[in-house]
Homo-oligomer: A and B are copies of this chain.
Amino acid sequence: MIERYFEDLQVSDRFESGTFEVTEKGIVDFAYDFDPQPFHLDEAAAEASVFKGLAASGWHTAAAAMRLLVTGGLPFASGIVGLGGEIAWPKPTRPGDTLHVESEIVEITPSRSKPHQGIVTVRGTMFNQNQEAVYVLTAKLLVPRRTTRK
């Protein structure tokens, strides 16, 4: 895997991640820790909710996407450091889903004040096994140049 620095990147560059398997235990464990709402914890309660069945916390979905990005989905040297961005969950993530992320660079902005780095805007879409988008993240990432100190 070739790790990219700021000067290696271009708008429209695309990257694809490996896969993440969603389990009922994973959904419930995450929800117990961070999003203890009935529709993320219990199948019967979830059936009666707006989700109509057990659904992962949106933050579990977001965390799964990050795992896919940092384990090869977005091969940036010095890692993936985000300043912020926009997120959306077009559909729920379900037990048994197999997820992957397809990313595209949409904007590249050199920093005037910090010449050793720049901002790269990446739009990542996470799909399930039916090619339905479950999560879209457009994030501004801090990316260093190859020569970071002089």
- Map CB proximity to B onto A91-134 as digits: 1 under 8 Å, 0 otherwise: 00000000000000000000000000000000000000000000
Chain B residues, Cβ within 8 Å of A57: 63, 66
Q: Roughly how many angstroms separate A78 CA and B45 CA in the complex, as a whole number?
A: 11
Q: Roughly how many angstroms separate A79 CA and B34 CA in the complex, as a whole number?
A: 14
Which residue from B49, B85, B142 sits with its C-beta under 8 Å from A87? B85
Q: Roughly how many angstroms separate A84 CA and B125 CA in the complex, as a whole number?
A: 13
User: Is A81 close to B, CB under 8 A?
Assistant: yes
Which residue from B59, B84, B85, B136 sits with its C-beta under 8 Å from A63? B59
Interface residues on A, range: 35 or more
Chain B residues, Cβ within 8 Å of A50: 78, 81, 142
User: Is A35 close to B, CB under 8 A?
Assistant: yes
Q: Roughly how many angstroms separate A88 CA and B85 CA in the complex, as a whole number?
A: 6
User: Is A71 close to B, CB under 8 A?
Assistant: yes
A-B contact sample (7 more), CB < 8 A, given A36-B67, A85-B86, A87-B87: A36-B71, A37-B70, A50-B142, A57-B66, A83-B89, A84-B88, A86-B86
